[in-house]
Amino acid sequence: MELLYEDKDLVVINKPAGLAVHADGRTAEPTVSEWFVKKYPEAKDVGEPIRTSLGFQPPSPSPRRGAGGEVVIERPGIVHRLDRETSGALILAKTKAGYECLKKQFQNREIEKIYHAFLHGKLKEGHGTINLKIERSKSDFRKRLALRSLGGARGREAITYYKVLKQTPEVAFVEAKPKTGRTHQIRVHFKALHHPILGDKLYAPKLPKLLGFERLALHAREIAFKDVLGGQHRVLANYPEDFKRALDNVGYSDI
């Protein structure tokens, strides 16, 4: 695991694509949380578990059963998450002080996250704001849906700012800044624009594979935050090899 930043309370890693952040209660697999507790055993009680009604419980050290029979998923160090196929900057808390510090910043939307992604098609505008509420799909528990109407009680507020960094006839390379942090927000918002992310098997399973991507072409490029003492930090996560090849292919350089 590539360490991008570390102090006594916090650590930022460059998460590789294909690695889940924490157990999901359905499959037994390596996770960031499992790696974290092995590297920082003193942090095993930092964080908050989640409880689900899933019927399958993978073997230890994955989820355990709660008193009511629900699955309790322990998530040491986890304050936010990235999808399994998303690579890039992920911040973790080593101490309870670090956890509370980050939790407050996420709740107040003070942490800035910048993502880079490859999209299908040619965007009409070079930059814009996607302001579409998001709700859980009733037909597929894995999916979220973007709502065209901002009125009514349905859905939760979701806002994403974006700008195009490179455009070709088939593909757009974009920077996305989510103001809110809804599940699958960037994926769902760009799908709503009819420009889904390359390699998205959930939201664009029938579209052709482009630029050699075998996974979701989404990378958490930067994260900006305050440490426990109030110091400001901005951490950059290097591109993985599949992103580097794709960037060469479209002729983009950020240097």
Best CA proximity match to 197, nearest among 155, 160, 235: 160
8 A C-beta contact, residue 84 and residue 19: yes
**Total residues found in the chain within this entry:** 255
8 A C-beta contact, residue 10 and residue 102: yes
Distance CA 155, CA 171 (A): 30
Identify the sign of the CA torsion 208, 142, 72, 81. positive
Cα–Cα distances in Å, from 132 out to 122, 176, 185, 200, 243? 20, 15, 10, 20, 28
7, 9, 45, 83: the active-site residue = 83
Query: Which runs of E-coded beta strand occur in 48-167?
Result: 50-52, 64-65, 71-73, 87-93, 112-120, 127-131, 134-136, 144-146, 159-167
To the query of whether residue 254 is one of the catalytic residues in this protein, the response is no
Distance CA 133, CA 150 (A): 6
| Active site residues per annotation | 83
